[in-house]
A and B are shown apart, each in its own frame.
Chain A
Amino acid sequence: MTVAVRVIPCLDVDAGRVVKGVNFEGLRDAGDPVELAAAYDAQGADELTFLDVSASAEGRGTMLEVVRRTAETVFIPLTVGGGVRTVSDVDTLLRAGADKVGVNTAAIARPGLIGEIAERFGRQVLVLSLDVRRTAPLAGGSLMAHAPSGFEVTTHGGRKPAGIDAIDWARRAAELGAGEILLNSMDADGTKGGFDLELIAAVRAAVDIPVIASGGAGTAGDFPPAIDAGADAVLAASVFHFGEVSIAEVKDALAEAGHPVRR
């Protein structure tokens, strides 16, 4: 027996409301992240991730209230990401009831933030979120100098290249004190064509910390290959929200492929 593969639904939350509808039967309020969190817990989710996409300070304040209510009703781990810039932001989220905090753009701008958070709260609270895109080869087939692995880090939902190599950044972030990597393929995201297995394998080879694979899931059968490629956990949003794949179906597929799951 060993640690189970984690299946993690992710909710995008804007000013305390779930972005895009969620198509579950029997929900009183499909836009309430707390009610959804409880529903996913009941379905067997191993962890929950909230991504705060609020643009305003007011929206962020509302998010804290969502985190508080979730921590009071759902007794599985909760990661909150989006807009985390300082050690103080992390402190606020942990006090509200988050167990882990996702950091993305702010750590790219100032990598020292990773060490500061790890030193204060322990590396286990810090999930480095990585939005990765494959680079187009240059004329002649060689890869771009800033991303020799062929994978680059992006910001702004994949629209802006950060100018650094994704595999190097993953390795460096792990050395600086990241506890986990949330690896999101911006190429696969939304395609429902399966995870980017080469990307997962490349990051797995570079770091020893857990890797959460994200982006591209369309069917339950897409999940086991991500674990075979080296991921420790799988995260998805829309396929769960729209009821296209259930948590239980993903766990069935994983178990059938020989991976340990929590029932």
Chain B
Amino acid sequence: MTQIAEPGSGGLLGGPPLAEPEDIEAILLQADLAAAVAPVTATVTLPEDVHVVVLDYGSGNLRSAERALAATGARVTVSSDLGLAAEADGLVVPGVGAYAACMAGIEAAKAGPVIAERVARNRPVLGICVGAQIMFDSGDEHGVITPGLGLLPGRVTRLAARRVPHIGWNVVDAPAESALFADLPAGTRCYFVHSFAAYADALAGTGALVTTTEHEGDVFVAAVEHGPLSVTQFHPEKSGAAGAALLRAWISTVGTAAAPDTAVAPDER
């Protein structure tokens, strides 16, 4: 378990003293208990000293992703440093808000080629929410088409359901071969908050493992595992014990990434 208090951070704000370390221990103990009572079997053996970079390109709440990943035992760095992003064992690409705004952030940070290069070299990448959506060919927001990174085929479009945004815990339907969902029982719910998604038909024939979810009869992509590239439309860092199990599973694949010759080049899919 990692430390949660940042030295001196309370004093700067002029508030009353922070919780004593003992209190924090108690909180962490409770968090552990919460994880322990959840119906999740952890069979993943975590590799030693995996370094993960959470790409900071100005998008949203990175703290939860950082801490949820750190809870797996990985070393986690939140950074906009492209050298670190290229060399890390695993790269996490978060993202919230508009597709166009996220792509603009990726372009301003010049991160696109680094992500593509990692995938080409069979280096693990995990995209979350809009960070998952930008891995696809393009996004359609109210008729405005924004090119994505093109690492997965298909266009991200507005959900067909009436009740949008799709907010809440929904059941994910994962293929039996999935590594990410291997420890999660059928019927597991993960936390979604989005109005747009990719659809599985565009991924047919690519060999990608596609996990879906359903909202008001609309069935769309919840996760994709395609060689070194994994994406989740939901937020594993906000999905409690289920999300923690999924992140542990991803970290275990990061530590045992296969040889580069299995890489999927964008033009071969």
Residues of A within 8 A of B (CB): 1-6, 15-16, 28-29, 32, 34-35, 38-39, 41-42, 46, 58-59, 61-62, 64-65, 68-69, 71-77, 94-100, 119-125, 179-180, 208-210, 232-233, 262-263
* Most-contacted residue by chain B among A32, A61, A99, A209 (CB, 10 A): A99
A-contacting residues, B154-192, CB 8 Å: 162-171, 187, 189, 191-192
Contacts of A6 in B (CB 8 A): 167-169
Question: Which of A1, A3, A38, A121 contacts B96, CB < 8 Å?
Answer: A121
Q: How far is the CB of B261 from chain A (nearest CB, A)?
A: 36
Contacts of B75 in A (CB 8 A): none
The answer to whether A73 and B191 have CB atoms under 8 Å apart is no
Q: Within the assembled complex, what's the spacing in Å between the Cα atoms of A61 and B60?
A: 20
* Most-contacted residue by chain A among B16, B162, B166 (CB, 10 A): B16
The answer to whether B23 and A42 have CB atoms under 8 Å apart is no
Q: Determine the residue in chain A with the shortest Cβ distance to B63.
A: A97
Q: Within the assembled complex, what's the spacing in Å between the Cα atoms of A6 and B168?
A: 7
Q: Within the assembled complex, what's the spacing in Å between the Cα atoms of A208 and B159?
A: 13
B68 CB within 8 Å of chain A: yes
Q: How far is the CB of B225 from chain A (nearest CB, A)?
A: 21
B13 CB within 8 Å of chain A: yes
16 chain-A/chain-B pairs, Cβ below 8 angstroms: A1-B187, A3-B170, A3-B215, A4-B169, A35-B23, A38-B30, A42-B31, A75-B237, A75-B239, A75-B240, A94-B60, A97-B61, A97-B63, A123-B165, A209-B163, A262-B189
Q: Within the assembled complex, what's the spacing in Å between the Cα atoms of A62 and B168?
A: 29
B144 CB within 8 Å of chain A: no
Q: A1-B214, A35-B26, A38-B34 are in contact. Are A75 and B96 (CB under 8 A)?
A: no
A-contacting residues, B204-247, CB 8 Å: 214-216, 235, 237-240, 243-244
Question: Which of A34, A46, A119 contacts B27, CB < 8 Å?
Answer: A34
The answer to whether B14 and A125 have CB atoms under 8 Å apart is no
B4 CB within 8 Å of chain A: yes
Contacts of B39 in A (CB 8 A): 263
The 4 closest A-B pairs by CB, nearest first: A62-B15, A122-B97, A61-B13, A42-B34
Chain B: interface size category: 35 or more
The answer to whether B31 and A1 have CB atoms under 8 Å apart is no
Q: A2-B214, A72-B4, A125-B96 are in contact. Are A38 and B162 (CB under 8 A)?
A: no
The answer to whether B216 and A2 have CB atoms under 8 Å apart is yes
Q: Within the assembled complex, what's the spacing in Å between the Cα atoms of A32 and B23?
A: 10
State the main secondary structure of chain B at its contact with A: mixed
Q: A15-B15, A65-B10, A76-B240 are in contact. Are A1 and B171 (CB under 8 A)?
A: yes
Q: How far is the CB of B117 from chain A (nearest CB, A)?
A: 28
B19 CB within 8 Å of chain A: yes
The answer to whether A179 and B165 have CB atoms under 8 Å apart is yes
The answer to whether A179 and B23 have CB atoms under 8 Å apart is no
The answer to whether B30 and A97 have CB atoms under 8 Å apart is no
The answer to whether B63 and A72 have CB atoms under 8 Å apart is yes
Q: How far is the CB of B179 from chain A (nearest CB, A)?
A: 21
List 15 additional contacts besides A2-B216, A58-B13, A124-B165; criterion CB under 8 Å.
Answer: A5-B168, A15-B16, A28-B26, A41-B34, A42-B30, A59-B15, A65-B9, A69-B19, A71-B64, A73-B24, A76-B239, A76-B240, A122-B130, A124-B194, A179-B167
Q: A94-B61, A97-B63 are in contact. Are A68 and B168 (CB under 8 A)?
A: no
Q: How far is the CB of A89 from chain B (nearest CB, A)?
A: 15
